[in-house]
A and B are shown apart, each in its own frame.
Chain A
Amino acid sequence: MSWITLAFDNFLNDSKSSDGRLVLLTQITLILFLATLSLTSASVQQYLDDNLNNMLGADISVSGPRPLSSRDENLLSDKAADFAKIQLTPLAISLRGETIPVQLKIADDNYPLQGSLKIGMAQDQTIQKTIGHGPPPGEIWLGPRASSKIDANIGDRIAIGEETFRFGAIIYHEPDRLMEGHSVSMRALMNSKSLSIDDVKSSKTLYRYLLTATSEQQESIERWASEKLSDFTLLTKASGSHPLALFWQRTENFLGLASVILFFLAAIAIDMANRRYLERQKQRLAVYLSFGQTLAACLRLSLLQWLSGFLLSFMIAIGLAYVAQYFLIGQLADQFPGITSGWHPATIAKTTGLIFLLLLAFQIPMLWQLSRTSLVSLIRAVEYPSAQLLRLFWGFASISLLAAYYSDNFLLTGLTLGALGAALLLMAILSWIILTAGEFWGRRYPGLLSFNFFIMKQRLLSKSSQILGLGLCSLLLLFTLMLMKDIGATMEGYTRANNGNLMVAELQAQDKPALENWAQENESEIRQLRPYAAAKLSEINGLPIDEAISTPSETLATVKNSIRLHWSNTIPSNNQLVGGKWWSEKESNWNQISAEDEVMTDLGLNYGDQLTFMIDGKATQFKLVASHAFKPGGGSVTFWFQIPERAIEAIKPDVFYMGSIELPDAAWNELGSLWQKHPSLSLVPLKELTQRFDDTLAMVTKLVVGYATMVLIMTALVIAASMKGFEAEDRQKNGLLMSMGVTKKSCVKLALYDWLTVSLIAGIGAISGTWLAGLLIYQSQFSMIYEPDPIWLVSTMLAIGVTVCGIGVIYSRKSLSTSIKDLLSE
């Protein structure tokens, strides 16, 4: 017990020193960030699990891009105890000349299968009732947003094309709401007897079958569906896999990589603060050895002392993390309605375990150094081996392992770590070259500057670690700021890059002449209109995509739904060939396909892969022969997958178009009439698109600003640690110089030269690393063309450098006033 008390006493004594406080603060910041992340993530996960149980509205749900054949439908209903059929389709509804797009759910009489609907008769939600059936034939029920947007009152006649329907109720809750995921579309519900649904064709139409089934029946359905319905998605309460789960996992993985960078900074800060602490601890252990203690007992004490610090950091950080979780969950309420924060002890235990192991790993080089402690050092000077390389290697290895554990995107992780490694190497080489050259030059030209190089060269190892630490920190800060600036600019630029002010998201081939006529009549210019067919990727090299790809990505989530398949004999003007060979017009083999470069990377596709697409219910196989990428200048509409035109003649799919139109101001009022006649036409005004981008941009900005703040805090800690860690050496140097008659002013000058040299090398390393990271990461990971902005890079780095130099010199001035006295007392 006395060892524990002593270890705790030692920890308390050490935490009164600035180094101790720095380590403690770094640990608290790191644990706070990671624990908040884990807690928030666990709350979202719990929400998703609960949501799946309560919001599926059935035991099993089967969804696909086409209706089942009557034979398959009968087979399915035979296997289930109860059965409801739903169709979801985007359509335009009109009232008093106002037209809006809605996601229309067309349900049969068996809907809802499990749970009930909540409807109301007024916008203010005051009169609500729960009922067990959908709207009767002839009625349409609207979601609150749709009814308010179109300004409808109960009893109004809502038009879809030529037909009108009575607005019967406002619908507040559907028991199968989960299936809509995080869609923000306005909603409407109708009875399948109201509308002849075969009239309505859309590549976005989804057919869903809700089933009540025992677990044996569920197994049988799952088996049957996996064999017969490769283009359908099956969801059960029992097997989990919430539609948002993958989205959240990807978010988590991205944040995981962000945590790796923060870990990196924390490792640097702790390593620097530990420099002085190590000396003190070595002396302490040597004294303990003189009392007859064994080295093993001394190391145990050291470990216990570290553990005390960890426990205190843990308690403070976890308390704060719960508070932070509460606020973050509040922010996420828009994405996950009804989400609440929780305690999640198992998650906290797991996260703490991981942080504990990593922080412990950072201590291993120090423990190794401590294990070399000798009592002889108290009697005469003993040279201890430097563990610089061990510390560097150990830190890098721990961080790489952590990165591998967290990241689902090995390419991004590899590129990030590669850029950091290259920058480190560059700074190490530069430090040696500049200091050696400076010292060599100084031999001929004596003075303060040459003395600065001489003294820095003598302390090459310790100065290098200061330079590397500050350089890495600046690199990470610079890269974060640059990414934040460029993502914002790209998103803004993207909205401007669209041609025309009205996007045609989907147009059926039969409606094309009507749109062209309308455009002509209203002096509107169709800027682009490109054909496509709805297709769903079902197999890669004969394997279902879930089996063929295990790495989650945004691309994978998208290809699990129907995608747009475009055809062209030549490379479109807004595309460029990245690799492989594009087909020629003369070739008879039409089973060829080109995929966008980014899609190939995300899905791990290779040339020669066989891709099976379900097009209008029929499986068609294509060989991947080329990859393409977007090229600015020829219109904004581009496609992930493209096939030869000859393929369309063979497949004969339903044809849709997407593109853009430039409308003069007067034409906007006439748009309603076009929409009303062709309700399946999907149009998105650019203003609305801009709004959506702004919302996304606001969310991304919030995320990046939060992250940049964390990086800034960590950077501040590293800078403080770097100054504190070298304070003793500087004080001794200044004291000696002043005792030799060097003036205070000259000492300050010397400090300035020292900080300028450190900042210069760190700055060059940071700018080169940022440039390299931008070059490697932008194109491959964010599909952004990296255009280095040297003025921005240099001026931002100058600002960081001037701040570091300024604080460094102020700090040195402060230490000068006491240095001679201190030296005497030493």
Chain B
Amino acid sequence: MDHQIKLEDVGHYFDTPHGRISLFDTLSLTFSGGSTHAIVGPSGVGKSSLLSLAAGLELPRLGEITFTCDGQQMSPVKLRQRSGFVFQQFHLMQELDALGNIALPLRLNGNKQAYDIARKWLKKINLEDRANHKPTQLSGGEQQRVAIARAFVSSPAFIFADEPTGNLDEATSSNVTDLMFEFAKDTGSALIIVTHSSALAERADNIFALSEAHLEKIK
């Protein structure tokens, strides 16, 4: 699979009424398809911003980012059609049940078997008996499992996960981590995770440590 996101000499900062907040500059790295990547580092250094840039949600203030899928360079908007997201706050649709949440991306793409496929994914995350439960009736771990299934259900090229275990206890985190890596392996999706958890980062093929000074590849 010839997928890749390449960041070259990327710099980023925010302008606020109280002055400029610089995050990083001249940062270069590559996320290759089919692999798993973790970005670690202390709070406030710009891990989530780096994830947003890599996902094409924001444009870098300096440098260049290129997105390649199946050997072809593409725009950030096109990349998003080949991406999935897992958020720290889960962001499930409150009005939909577990099954409806997983089926949603497929329905939006006009897939008529959306619910059948979603049901299979529900089984994969061991929540078949909670199919008709709304997010408020699920625990945090269960909600994140549903969110992970929803991100993987359309087999995207890249999955971007922002602190996916940040709101979960240790045991649940481990379960969620297992699921993510298992699904990444099964679907061949590249996984790019921002995390504080060293246990989660250790599972990745590549680890990048971001600090105020620079970015270092430690694995």
Chain A residues with a Cβ under 8 A of chain B: 1-3, 5-6, 10, 13-14, 16, 283-284, 286-294, 297, 374-376, 378-380, 825
Does B48 sit within 8 A of A, measured CB to CB? yes
User: Is B87 a contact partner of A291 (Cβ separation < 8 A)?
Assistant: no
A-B contacts, 22 of them at CB < 8 A, read: A1-B110, A2-B112, A2-B114, A3-B108, A10-B95, A13-B95, A16-B95, A287-B91, A290-B91, A291-B104, A291-B109, A292-B81, A292-B82, A292-B105, A292-B154, A292-B156, A294-B77, A378-B89, A378-B91, A379-B48, A380-B49, A825-B136
- Write out the residue numbers on chain A whose beta carbons fall within 8 Å of the beta carbon of B156: 292
Assess whether A374 is in contact with B57, with CB atoms less than 8 Å apart. yes
Q: How many Å from the CB of A574 to the closest CB on chain B?
A: 68
User: What is the chain B residue whose CB lies nearest that of A293?
Assistant: B108
Is the CB–CB distance between B87 and A292 below 8 Å?
no
Smallest CB-CB A-B distances: 7 pairs: A292-B81, A13-B95, A291-B105, A290-B85, A292-B80, A2-B110, A376-B57
In the complex, per-residue mask of B8-44: 1 if CB is within 8 Å of any chain A CB, else 0:
0000000000000000000000000000000000000
Is B142 interfacial (CB-CB < 8 Å)?
no
Report chain A residues within 8 Å CB of B95.
Answer: 10, 13-14, 16
Chain A: minimal CB distance from B140 (Å): 11
Q: How far is the CA of A3 from the CA of B111 in the complex (A)?
A: 11
A379 touches B52 (CB 8 A): yes
- Which of chain A's residues have a CB closer than 8 A to the CB of B85? 290, 375, 378
B residues adjacent to A (C-beta < 8 A) = 48-49, 51-52, 55, 57-58, 77, 80-85, 87, 89, 91, 93, 95-96, 104-105, 107-112, 114, 136, 154, 156, 162
A14 to B80, CA, bound (A): 27
Instruction: Identify 19 new A-B residue pairs, CB closer than 8 A, beyond the known A297-B108, A375-B85.
Output: A2-B108, A3-B108, A13-B95, A283-B91, A284-B93, A287-B91, A290-B84, A291-B105, A291-B154, A292-B83, A292-B156, A293-B108, A375-B55, A375-B57, A375-B80, A378-B85, A378-B89, A379-B48, A379-B162
Asked, given contacts A283-B91, A378-B89, whether A291 binds B108 with beta carbons under 8 Å apart, the answer is yes
- Contact partner of A288 among B57, B87, B108, CB < 8 A? B108
Q: Which of B85, B105, B112 has the most chain A CB within a 10 Å cutoff?
A: B85
Pair B58/A376 contact, Cβ less than 8 Å = yes
**Is there contact, CB below 8 Å, between B57 and A6?**
no
Q: Which A residue sits closest to B49, measured CB to CB?
A: A380
Q: Which residue of chain A lies nearest to B104 when distances are taken between CB atoms in the complex?
A: A291
B154 → chain A closest CB, angstroms:
7
Q: Which residues does chain B contribute within 8 Å of A297, judged by CB atoms?
A: 108
CB distance from B87 to the nearest CB of A (A): 5
CB-CB < 8 A to A10: which residues of B? 95
> B108's contact among A6, A283, A376, by CB below 8 Å, is which?
A6
Residues from chain A with Cβ under 8 Å of B80 in the complex: 289-290, 292, 375
Q: Report whether B91 and A380 are in contact in the complex, using a CB–CB cutoff of 8 Å.
A: no
Expressed in whole angstroms, the minimum distance between the Cβ of B165 and any Cβ of chain A is 15
* A13-B95, A374-B57 known; A380-B48 Cβ under 8 A: yes
Complex contacts, A14 vs chain B, CB 8 Å: 95
Residues in chain B near residue A284, CB distance under 8 A? 93
In the assembled complex, which residues on chain A have CB atoms less than 8 Å from the CB atom of B84? 290-291
Report chain B residues within 8 Å CB of A294: 77
Residue of B whose beta carbon sits closest to that of A283: B91
- The interface residues of chain B lying within 8 Å CB-to-CB of A825 are 136
CB-CB under 8 A from A3, the residues of chain B are: 108, 110
Cα of A772 to Cα of B95 in the assembled complex, Å: 47
Contacts of B105 in A (CB 8 A): 291-292
Q: What's the nearest-Cβ distance from chain A to residue B193, in Å?
A: 13
Once the chains are docked, how many angstroms separate the CA of A379 from the CA of B89?
9
Determine how close the nearest CB of chain B comes to the CB of A579; give it in whole angstroms: 57
B-side contacts of A1, CB under 8 Å: 110
A286 contact set on B, CB distance < 8 A: 91
Q: Which residues of A contact B96 (CB under 8 A)?
A: 13
Bound Cα distance from A378 to B84, whole angstroms: 13
Complex-state Cα separation, A54 to B82, whole angstroms: 72
Q: Are A287 and B93 in contact, with the CB atoms below 8 A?
A: yes
Q: Is the CB of A379 within 8 A of B108?
A: no
CA distance A5 to B84 in the complex (A): 23
Q: Say yes or no: A379-B104 contact (C-beta < 8 A), given A287-B91, A290-B84, A292-B83.
A: no
Which residue of the partner chain B has the closest CB to A298?
A: B108
In whole angstroms, how far apart are the Cα atoms of A459 and B217 in the complex? 46
Chain B residues positioned under 8 Å from A13 (CB to CB)? 95-96
> CA of A379 to CA of B47 in the docked complex: distance in angstroms?
11
State the Cβ distance, A305 to closest chain B Cβ, in Å.
12
A3 to B108, CA, bound (A): 7
B-side contacts of A283, CB under 8 Å = 91
B87 touches A379 (CB 8 A): yes
**Distance (whole angstroms) from the CB of A674 to the closest CB of chain B:** 82
Minimal beta-carbon separation of B108 from chain A (angstroms): 6
Which residues does chain A contribute within 8 Å of B162, judged by CB atoms? 379
In the complex the two chains form, is B77's CB within 8 Å of A6's CB? no
Nearest chain A CB to B58 CB, angstrom units: 6
Residue of B nearest to A292 (CB): B81
When the two chains form their complex, are residues A379 and B51 in contact, meaning their CB atoms are under 8 A apart?
Answer: yes
Contacts of B55 in A (CB 8 A): 375
User: Which residue of B is nearest A825, CB measured?
Assistant: B136
Q: Which residues of B contact A374 (CB under 8 A)?
A: 57
With both chains docked as a complex, state the minimum distance between the C-beta of B195 and any C-beta of chain A, in angstroms.
13
Report yes or no: A378 in contact with B107, Cβ–Cβ below 8 A. no
The answer on a CB contact under 8 Å between A376 and B107 is no
**Bound complex: CA A6 to CA B103 (Å):** 11
A379 to chain B, nearest CB (A): 5
In Å, the complex CA distance between A14 and B95 comes to 8
> In angstroms, how far is the closest chain B Cβ from the Cβ of A144?
66
Give the CA-CA distance A287 to B87 in the complex, in Å: 10
Given the complex of chains A and B, what is the CA–CA distance between A5 and B112 in angstroms? 12
Which chain B residues lie closer than 8 Å to A378 at the CB level?
A: 85, 87, 89, 91
A21 CB to closest chain B CB (Å) equals 14
Question: How distant is the Cα of A825 from the Cα of B51 in the complex, in angstroms?
Answer: 27
Give CA–CA (A13, B105) in the complex, Å: 18
Distance between B81 CB and nearest chain A CB, rounded to angstroms: 4
Distance in Å: Cβ of A736 to nearest Cβ of chain B: 19
Looking at the assembled complex, report how far the CB atom of B18 sits from the nearest CB atom of chain A, in whole angstroms: 14
Residue in A closest to B114 when the chains form the complex, CB atoms: A2
How many Å from the CB of A7 to the closest CB on chain B? 11
Which of B58, B80, B83, B96 has the most chain A CB within a 10 Å cutoff? B80
CA A291 to CA B91, docked complex, whole Å? 12
User: Please, how many angstroms separate the alpha-carbon atoms of A164 and B48 in the complex?
Assistant: 106
> Whole-angstrom distance between the alpha carbons of A73 and B80 in the complex?
87
Residue on A nearest B55 in the bound complex, by CB: A375
Task: Point out the residue from B51, B82, B89, B107 that lies within 8 Å of A2, measured CB to CB.
Answer: B107
List A contacts of B91 (CB < 8 A).
283, 286-287, 290, 378
Distance A10 CA – B141 CA, assembled complex (angstroms)? 26
Interchain CB contact under 8 A, A376 and B82? no
Contacts of A293 in B (CB 8 A): 108
CB distance from B147 to the nearest CB of A (A): 10
Instruction: Write the chain B residue with the least CB distance to A6.
Output: B107
Q: Which residues from chain A contact B57 at a C-beta distance below 8 Å?
A: 374-376, 379
Bound Cα distance from A290 to B156, whole angstroms: 11
* Contact call A376/B52, Cβ cutoff below 8 A: yes
Q: How far is the CA of A764 from the CA of B18 in the complex (A)?
A: 38
CB proximity of A774 to chain B, nearest CB, Å: 46
With a cutoff of 8 Å between Cβ atoms, the chain A residues found around residue B82 in the complex are: 292
Chain A residues with CB under 8 Å of B104's CB are 287, 291
Q: State the Cβ distance, A158 to closest chain B Cβ, in Å.
A: 80
Q: Which residues does chain A contribute within 8 Å of B136, judged by CB atoms?
A: 825
| Cβ–Cβ < 8 Å partners of B58 in chain A | 376
CA–CA, A358 and B210, complex, Å: 52
Closest-by-CB residue of A relative to B162 is: A379
In angstroms, how far is the closest chain A Cβ from the Cβ of B106?
Answer: 9
Chain B, residue nearest A284 (CB)? B93
Complex-state Cα separation, A2 to B115, whole angstroms: 12
Once the chains are docked, how many angstroms separate the CA of A2 from the CA of B95?
A: 18
Residues of A within 8 A of B89 (CB): 378
B80 (CB) vs chain A CBs: closest residue:
A292
